Structures are given as structure tokens and as C-alpha cells.
A and B are shown apart, each in its own frame.
Chain A
Amino acid sequence: MRMAAWLYLILAFGFIYLPVGTLVLFSFQDGTLPVPPFNGPSLQWYTEVLADDDITAALINSLVVAIGSSAVAVVLGFLAAYGLARHVLPGSAIMRGLLIAPLTVSYLIVGLGLLIVLNRTGIGLSLFTAGIGHVVINLPLAFAIIYASMGAQHENAERAARDLGASEAKVVLLVTAPMLAPTLAAAFFLSVTLSWDEFIIAFLLTRFDITLPVEIWSMLRSGLSPRLNAIGSVVFLISVTAVLILEFTVLRRRRS
């Protein structure tokens, strides 16, 4: 039974790492096809990819959209969570349901809906419209995470602040937000991760300036090439590094 378990573990990990391993390995291919046999290693594809202006532009666009839309999502989500958690409002259950609803719908449909509206109203597609779409998908997540973290201990601190004469705005700014800093950071980071990698909404809602996943998609149309391996490995490396940093700093500190 023991043996079977470890065998399964090895096979499973083999399956999971097969594509990523192939991707990274053949990004160092000395040749034009990212398939066996492996000649190399060579850094030619990395230098080519990192020097490519389209790719660098797309990378920056991705970052801008990700950070921008995440910031908006977290701020709106935080305000909504604060409003609903701290005030008795009629129909709050319905409002909560509405705010969370986009989570239940496929991204394709979110993008399609926005595309139709933009098309009918004659508004052009851009990074900005893609950002709007990303806020739509990230707002429910940010709201849910923050709402779940607004506990009683925060409420007491806020009451104390009000008791000492702080206005509502000051309470939110100086007491609530700082106390929720880890949660806000987590929501922000999650949103950035999702937005950074998001394809279909960005694909539908951008036109000239595109994000990295969309750029990679158009590169894909030209066939198999180690260039894709290289950029894919770079994206992977960036994401993994961010996650590992998060794991070993924020999460470690919370545990101690």
C-alpha cells in the first residue's frame, strides 16, 4: 500500500511537470524547433524575446492593466464590504448576491457582454476597456475576501475611534484599512495574479495595445517556436518567484 502511494505520487508529479519541463527545457534549444532532439543549451531565444519590443510593450501593458484594475477592485470591494458589514441596510442580502454574481459566470460571457455594449455604443476597444472587464471579474473576489475578514474585533476598534471623535472617513482610513492590511494585500495580490494571466476578456476587449497573454496568442498563430518557450518560461519564472516571495514573507509572518 505504501509503495503504491509513492508510485502514484511520482507518476502524478511526472504528469504535472511534463509540459512545464518540456517548455523550459526547449526554451534553451539551439535550433528552430522546440522538439526533440535537444541541442544546446543556448540563450538565443531569451535574448531575442527580451529584446522584442512588442513583447516588452505587452508585458508593461499587462502590468498596468493588472495593477490598475486590481487597485480599483480592491478599493471598491473594500468600501462595499465596509458598507455592508458595518451598516444595517435593507436588501443587503440581495446586494451581496449581486456583487458576487460575476463569479458564477464564465469570463467569455463577461467579455462578450461588454463587447456587445461597447460595440453598440461605439466606444473603442483599448487597455482601458480590458481593465474594466478585469475589475468586473476581480471585484467579487476582493469583496468576498474582505467581507469575510471584517470581524468583531475590528468593529470594536472602530467604535473606540468614533468614541474618541473621529469622523467616518477618518475611521475608515486610519483604523479599518490599516487593520485589514494583510487581507487587502492578499486580495490585491490575488487580483493581480488573475488579471496578469487572463486571456479571453483581454482578447475580446483590446485592439491595438494588447496584454501579454494576447501577444503570446498571436505568436502562437505563427506555429511552434522556441521563442514561445522562452517567453513562457519567463512568465512562469516571474509568477513563481512572486508566489514564493509571498509564501515565505507574508504567510510566514502570519504564522509566527
Chain B
Amino acid sequence: MTASVRLNQLNHWFGPFHALRDISLEIEAGEYVTLLGPSGCGKTTLLSVLGGFIEPSQGTVFIADADMTSVAPAKRPTTTMFQDYALFPHMSLRDNVAFGLRMTGVGKAERHRKADDKLDLVGLKADGAKRPHELSGGQRQRVALARALAVEPDVLLLDEPLGALDLKLRRAMQDELKDIQRQVGTTFVHVTHDQEEAMAISDRIVVMNAGRIEDAGPPSRIYREPASLFAADFMGEMNHIPAQVGSAGAQTALTNLPAANLMSGAATVCIRPEAVRQDGKGIGLGDATVRDATFFGAYTRAHVIPTTAPDMVVVAHLPPTSLPETGAVLQLSVLPDDIRIFTKDTA
């Protein structure tokens, strides 16, 4: 089962603290959306509002075109997967997964059958009789997922579900989550602070900061054309080059860059490390001296100091075969498409 979600002008205060500011968002039925942002940005608060654990001070929450703003969690077509899984330790896995069905009065045989189905979906078919403490972290996470899906919610809310897992397991689970979501078709809203995770699984990423939505869109668009300085910074690494926008374009210490339709005044030019080129194509950025270069497997990460701006350090990702010595001089350039300029009104 699946449904669309519409959030309109959500505002929420915890005492004097303004936790959510004018949040408006539309999520299509069946979308996998990630709420991404640093600690304290409001993403978990937003998830709680969606789940019905918090009633927002202002604004509305519509799920499948029905006003759910004040509806209790039990009565909403949502279920939440908690960060610590909250599996009932005194029940078997099967009883855990069947719990929601039991609460709605489903008979024993049928709810056990449905529970086994869901355990099968997450790959734990034979373990129905076990207790949570007998499982590993990754397995418990799957049971929590099965339990949340057993009641066939329209929207599944995941609160940093992969935080407790190690890197390899996390990557595997990301793929599995995406797979399962495609299979059941439910709308997934997933909270995380890990931007790699967000990029791996989302149909759309919603970047949040200080209670506001900074940017929302498909991972590729957010990465390549971030809408704000914060979003640009949060996703991957970014070089910041101060600039002055005037009649002659954006003037930086390295070179002048075209800046059509931009507000005059101070600005920041953002260039991704992998967009800094050595092959001379695109706009020249001048010479730079290598401060250090470290092999990172898929690329070489180099800190370079531009000749025309000795106070600046630029991070460049060079091909892995290139490992320049400290003091080597490189000629840098960048393609115009790879440049983002943020002025005061877009920062």
C-alpha cells in the first residue's frame, strides 16, 4: 500500500527553539525520499511529525489527501522504524512482526502466515521462533523492517536505520532497502546524516539545515547543481573561492569567471575537487604548487596552492596514476558547467 504525502507550511517550536521553519514538501506515492542534514537540523523532528508523535505548532500534514495533522500514530497509515529498532525482547521474531496485526484483531493463523511472509521478504524466513537477543545488529534491523511493513503502511518512516552498522554491512543494507522498497511500492521517508547513503538509495534527497529545507531533488541534480551554498557544501567536498560580482563578471584571485544574471557584491564560487582539471580544457585557473598529494584508491587527493592566491588551498582530485611531488607546479582549469556561484541571495 502506498500514498502521497503533502506537508504545508510546517512550523514547530520546542519552547523558544524554532525547530521547523516553513517546511513545505510534496512526496509522490511510491517515492524513496531521504531527509539529509547535520545533527539538529530538524530532520528527526520532521519525521516525528510525519509519524504522529509530534503535533506541529503550525501547518498541515496530508497523507493520501486526508488531513492527518492531529491524528495519533496508531491511527495513521504510517509506521516508523526506530533507530534502536525497539524490538520487543520478550517476544519471538514472528510475534514481533505479527504484533501490529494482532492489535488490529487479525487471527493467530493468519497473522503468523503474514509475519512469515514478511520475514521471508527480509531474508529471515527460518528464524521466526528466535528471540531478538539471538540476532546480530543487521538481522535485528531487518526484523524491525519486517515488523513495520507487516501492517502494510502507506508510508514507512526510517529514523537513521543504518547508523549502528559497520560500513560494509551498511552498504549491503542500502541496496536491500532500495530493493524491498521497489518490491512493496510503499513510500519510504528515510532520515540520515550520511550523504553517501542518501545518494545511494534516494529517488529524491531533501537537504535540511537549521529547520529549513535547503534543497530538494534527485541526487545527481543536487550534487551537480546545488540550490544553496549549504547544500553544495554538505554533499561531497567543495572548494570555496571568494569572489566579487560586478560588471566584469565574478572576479576571483585566480581568474574572472562569467557571472550573468547574478546579484552584485560578495559571492562564493564553488568548484568540486574532481572538477579541477589538469588537461587545460575549459577556463584556465592559473598555476598552482602542490602542497601534498595522497593516494586514495580511486583518485589522488592533492592540496594545491595557487600562485596568484598563496593564502588559498584548493583541493583537487587527480587521476590515481598521477602522484606529484610536493612543490610540483600544475596548470589548473575548470569547465564552465562545473562552476557554481552563490551570491548573498542564493547562499
| A and B in contact, CB less than 8 Å | no
Question: B residues within 8 Å of A by Cβ?
Answer: none
Question: A residues within 8 Å of B by Cβ?
Answer: none
